[in-house]
Amino acid sequence: MSENCLFCKIIKGEIPCDKLYEDEDVFAFRDIAPQAPMHVLIIPKEHLRGPEAVGEANERVMGKLMRVANEIAGKEGQTDYRLVCNNGAVAGQTVFHLHMHIIGGRPLGWPPG
C-alpha cells in the first residue's frame, strides 16, 4: 500500500467506490467518469506504479487481472471490449497505481486519439 495513492485508499475503503470484484490479489470497480456504457477499472492490490514496475514476481497477478477482466466483462453482458493500460503521463496515465480499463458496450474506434 502507498500512503497517498488514490487507488490504495479505494482498496482500503477510505474512499468509496462501486466495487464489482475483490479477492486477495485483485480489486475492480466502476470508473467514476465512464467513457462507455461499461467502464471498469481492475487493479492489483499491490501498489505498482504501472506496467514499468511489473517484474517476474508480479506475473501471476498480471495474468489474473486479464482473466478476471474477461469474467467481469461477461457479467456485464459484454463479449467485445477493450482493455487499456496507460503507462506514463504522456500515454494518458493520471493515477499511478497500475490499472486496466475494461471498456465496452458501444463501438470503439481505432486508433486511439
Please identify, using beta-carbon distances, which residue of 79 and 94 lies nearer to ligand AMP: 94
Among 94, 107, 111, 113, the residue binding ligand AMP under the rule CB under 6 A is: 94
Residue 9 cell numbers, joined: 485508499
Residues binding ligand AMP: number (CB under 6 A):
13
CA–CA separation, 111 vs 79, rounded Å? 20
Give catalytic status of residue 99 as yes or no: yes
Minimum distance, C-beta of residue 13 to ligand AMP, in the bound complex (Å): 12
Beta strands in the chain (DSSP E): 19-22, 26-30, 38-44, 81-84, 100-104
Please identify, using beta-carbon distances, which residue of 33 and 56 lies nearer to ligand AMP: 33
Q: Which of 39, 47, 97, 99 is catalytic?
A: 99
Among 32, 74, 77, 106, the residue binding ligand AMP under the rule CB under 6 A is: 32
Short-list 111, 80, 86, CA closest to 31: 86
Among 5, 53, 62, 95, the residue binding ligand AMP under the rule CB under 6 A is: 95
Q: Cα-Cα-Cα-Cα dihedral of 56, 59, 60, 61, to 10°?
A: 120
Which residues does the annotation mark as catalytic?
Answer: 99
